[in-house]
Amino acid sequence: MLGLPTQTITQAYQCRMPQWVSVPQMRADGPTRTVSVTGYTLALSWSPEFCKGRKTDARQRTQCSGRNGRFGLIVRGLWPDGCST
């Protein structure tokens, strides 16, 4: 636990933003649903494991090529959880 702040600072130091980032267009995959939010799910992935065999994959270039630094934990999303009644 004591090593966590140092690791966090190290990761931030090594990360370099690309000159441009494309934003994909998202399409709705079904009807809009309205549900009360009851909590959130924080989705993380461990980059060294995710990038095994993906270093030359064009879709994963920003994270896995090494050009933008080395990544540890990656935040995939903070998704609302709901309960429909």
pLDDT band at 1 (very low <50, low <70, confident <90, very high): very low
Measured torsion, CA atoms of residues 21, 25, 31, 35, in degrees rounded to the nearest 10 = 20
Q: What is the pLDDT of residues 57-78, one digit of tens each?
A: 888 888 888 888 788 888 889 9
pTM higher than the cut 0.75: no
**N residues, the chain:** 85
Q: Are the C-beta atoms of 33 and 83 separated by less than 8 Å?
A: no
Q: Over the range 2-24, which residues count as b (16 or more CB within 10 Å of their CB) and which as e?
A: eeeeeeeeebeeeeeeeeeeeee
| Across 35-45, average pLDDT | 91
* pLDDT value for 31: 84
* pLDDT value for 77: 92
Tell me what the pLDDT averaged over the chain comes to.
79
